[in-house]
Structure 1
Amino acid sequence: MEDWRFRAIEEPQPLGSYPPSDVTFLLKDISHIQLEVALDARERAIQSGTHYSEMLPKEHLPSSEYMNLYHETLKLSARKVAVSVGAVAEIIRAKKGTNTVLVSLARAGTPVGILIKRYLQDIHQLNLPHYSLSIIRGKGIDENALLYMLQKHPEANLQFIDGWTGKGAIRKVLTQACDKMAKDYGIILDDDLAVLADPGHCTDMFGTREDFLIPSACLNSTVSGLMSRTVLRDDLIGPTDFHGSKYYKEWLEHDQSTHFIETIVPYFSQVSEEAQAIAKDMLLHPPSISWHGLRDIQAIQATYQMADMNLIKPGVGETTRVLLRRVPWRILVDRMDNPHIRHILLLAEARGVPVEVYPGLTYSCCGLIQSVKGDAE
């Protein structure tokens, strides 16, 4: 078994638009490489067997109408997000202690990890290290990034963080990755995943199980430190490299990343008591992990005779992603007047995608991807 403590891993380069005090991206800068593919061509490639991490969706700046809706949503939900952040941060503090490294799963986890870090700083004067690394369905976690953190913080606990759960696919990848680290290196890691919203019932560390709109789900790189999705391709990423990502510096004037954080942070002091009460209750009565959301997905798969479950993306966050970077077939909603789906309806209208009410849905909405054939992201 390799002694990982002596593996030579390069120091990470400064990346992204967040202040370095908020997060260190354990990612290789591949900004100079053209990897963006038009949505239709990317969809055909993914469903024909090309792995989604080998190319990037072409990102577009949102319309002014959509940005207005984003800002309005942010204003309306900032306190709710702050409560969820606080509850999760309190659970992490209670379960993992002060010697903990926050590990965000790039990229939806990154703003959430920053908020948790800021909450613990503001409320408990606890300054935990925070990194963001890549995890990819079908390929696993970035082991070099994990080993780098463990070399830097040899006695620390790692706490993995993401934005929300859908079907729970990433939670499963994380569990497999932790099993692999134990087998290959003798490293024992907790596979527990902390998220703001867990509508899929896939974890016991969450702020809420309500499928509510986390405003950072509305945007792509412009709310994630201007970082692209992560990339893993043998011709670009060597055996000692971190997984790759692009830094879209050219969009700096449109960047909302720090603004998003600074909108939520002022609420921490007023919600900390509520957050502590939620966390205390969850620690006393640990919630069950039932994977309840999967039953919805199986029912939808049968109703719409979809061969591939991967083409069903449940939850507000995942449905937003379908509309922003996949080829949607239709959108299912629990009810048309749900306040968490206003941006979904706007995006669906802009792309000419039909929206249907699906009574009894566990989630606020689900995005169904147009089937070309084969596997999906």
Structure 2
Amino acid sequence: MKTTARVAALVCSSALILAGCGERSDDSNASGSETPTASESTSEAPKEDHPDYKACMVSDSGGFDDKSFNQTSYAGLQNAEENLGVKTAEVESNAPTEFADNINALVKQNCNSITTVGFLLGDATLAAAKKNKKVNFSIVDFAYDKAPANLKGLTFNTAEPAFLAGYLAAAKSETGVVGTFGGLNIPTVTIFMTGFVQGVEKFNEDEGADVKVIGWDPESQKGSFTNDFESKTKGQSSAEEMITQGADIIFPVAGPAGLGGLQAAQDNDVWGIWVDTDGCVSAEEYCDVLLTSVMKGMDVAVEEAIRAGANDEFDNEVYVGTLDNGGVALAPYGPNADIDDELDATIQDLRQQIIDGEITVG
């Protein structure tokens, strides 16, 4: 179990940003993350002014305050308003049955660009794009084999940083058992879990160890799921069950439900690893038990898609965020993680091997 004494986490503002290496004010080692923040990506360019362009967004059912992928994507819309001078509008979804109606409501508001957030909006977004060819559509966490000219997928190879998180977890585990669970058994969730398992397997191979992962089997594609992204109680229950099985590190991939996993980690003095954004920023109340977070730069991708539309440069080429282009990253280590220089150097070496194609993940 985790023996490092908890101390007050020294973190920056709780406003949601994707923290790059060294941005968080703490004494932890940096993990070598090079993911640009939205503020970094836009501050280098002159501000634009597109007052006649209206950019809009529809959330998944987790809402824009989920401290995860909806909130990070929404930050991209807010940044576009500030940096591009566009008008904005948004609609929160409470259930999947609302997706199509919410998209259509924004079409009726004369939105020039509509971004939908999440894999589950794939069908509704495609139908709307085909019907409304003059509107630019972008969708976070989905790609199509043949997308219409006005529909762009924004995807992220989160298996890459999750691999690094898995290796780190295996190295830090004292019980030899680590756990992961998801919200739903869908590709944008299981890609994290598969990368995590592969990272643990790499550690076992390198060190002759036998760290076990409970909660996900990439071979059978079966594992532990809360079957929603909203219930913190379900997430807490899933994590507590894993902790009773010996897991001393919990990796929830379940949006707001995953916060229950971090609560269980905090209550039981074990480690947690967060997803989508730097948990020490977006969920700072759990920073003291975080080893790191697996981040994806959804805010940057969303803003860039809106910028392309406003400048008449929109295309349907799928965006894929990777470690190489900075679209995904491992967050700085948590303030109590106590990662020694040797382990940090190994993580950096593995990161470079993935970028160079020497290690294939996913």
Same fold by TM-score greater than 0.5: no
Q: Quick check: which one's helix share is greater? A: 1
Taking structure 2 as the reference length, the TM-score comes to 0.32
Taking structure 1 as the reference length, the TM-score comes to 0.31
